């Protein structure tokens, strides 16, 4: 089946630093990648849609300058949390659409900002 | 009113029972329906997807869509403790250019299968 590889799975960082999360589509080309945030015991909240070779589209209320998204190739999209604060601590998940297997999710990244 | 409504549970059933999970939706443009299973601290895993009304079966799982009632269901037969997870329904409009449509998710139902 379609596979989306997400790294790191878990990261701790200090307040004020930046963290980069990578998502790779291993066996399909993704012109679009979706980035979600999930709080404990809650559903997925779409943050932004990354588009290969162009600017990402952000959902209302999501700070573009804090959550930098880059989609430089058909197999790699990155989310960088800049100047992280404790309130940015969350579970971040990417999803890529595969024609064969529908919308496939990465394994998620648990970010803890201390 | 949310576009997709899903009972958050929690739902506990004994091992071997048939589990019924449901979602209702209000947007008649939704044509593409999915069920995901999510274990704690993991990304959602796609279980079933369907474009049309009716039933679709895959092993112990059956997805059912009733567009006239705007109601979808997931049935799990012979439930196992390993089925304990959160189940999310998701849907989107018919995709003319696949991959560009956002998914709308239910809140998820927490399911526990008791041995």
The answer to whether B30 and B84 are in contact (CB under 8 A) is no
Phi, psi (5° rounding) for residue A29?
-95, 130
Q: What b/e sequence results for B9-33 when a residue is b if at least 16 CB atoms lie within 10 Å of its CB, and e otherwise?
A: eeeebeeeeebebbbbbeeeebbbb
The mean predicted confidence, pLDDT, of chain A is 92
Inter-chain residue contact A105 with B107, CB threshold 8 Å: no
pLDDT in tens, B81-112: 999 999 999 998 876 666 678 899 999 999 99
Inter-chain residue contact B99 with A104, CB threshold 8 Å: no
Top-confidence residue, B26 or A103:
B26
CB-nearest partner of A32 from B44, B99, B106? B99
Inter-chain residue contact B46 with A6, CB threshold 8 Å: no
Inter-chain residue contact B42 with A44, CB threshold 8 Å: no
Residue A11, Ramachandran bin (φ over 0: left; ψ between -120 and 50: alpha; else beta): beta
| Closest CA of chain B from A93, distance in Å | 7
Contacts of B33 in chain A (CB under 8 A): none
A-contacting residues in B 8-37 (Cβ below 8 Å): 34, 36
B61: buried, middle or exposed (CB in 10 Å: 19+, 13-18, 0-12)?
middle
Q: Which residue has the tokens 């112990």?
A: B60
pLDDT at B52 over 90: no
pLDDT in tens, B9-42: 899 999 999 999 999 999 999 988 999 999 998 9
pLDDT value at residue A2: 63
Inter-chain residue contact B102 with A107, CB threshold 8 Å: no
pLDDT value at residue A41: 83
Task: State how far the Cα of A29 lies from the Cα of A97, in Å rounded to an integer.
Answer: 9
Please give the structure tokens belonging to residue A13. 């960082």
| Closest CA of chain B from A23, distance in Å | 12
Torsion sign (Cα): A44, A49, B36, B7: positive
Task: State how far the Cα of B21 lies from the Cα of B74, in Å rounded to an integer.
Answer: 5
């Amino acid at each position: 089946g379609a596979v989306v590889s997400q790294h790191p799975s878990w990261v701790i960082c200090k307040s004020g630093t930046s963290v980069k999360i990578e998502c790779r589509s291993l066996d399909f080309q993704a012109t679009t990648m979706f980035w979600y945030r999930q709080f404990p015991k809650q559903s997925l909240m779409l943050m932004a849609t990354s588009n290969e070779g162009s600017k990402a589209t952000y959902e209302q209320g999501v700070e573009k300058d804090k959550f930098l998204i880059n989609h430089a190739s058909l197999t790699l999209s990155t989310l960088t949390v800049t100047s992280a604060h404790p309130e940015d601590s969350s579970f971040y998940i990417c999803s890529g659409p595969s024609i064969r297997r529908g919308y496939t999710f990465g394994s998620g990244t648990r970010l803890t900002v201390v | 009113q949310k576009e997709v409504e899903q009972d958050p549970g929690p739902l506990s059933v004994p091992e071997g029972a048939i589990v019924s999970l449901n979602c209702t939706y209000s947007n008649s443009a939704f044509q593409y329906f999915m069920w995901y299973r999510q274990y704690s601290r993991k990304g959602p895993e796609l279980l079933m997807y369907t474009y049309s009304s009716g039933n679709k079966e895959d092993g112990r799982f059956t997805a059912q869509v009733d567009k006239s009632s705007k109601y979808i269901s997931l049935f799990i037969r012979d439930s196992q403790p390993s089925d304990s997870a959160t189940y999310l329904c998701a849907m989107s409009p018919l995709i003319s250019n696949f991959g560009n449509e956002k998914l709308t998710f239910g809140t998820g139902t927490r399911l526990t299968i008791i041995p």
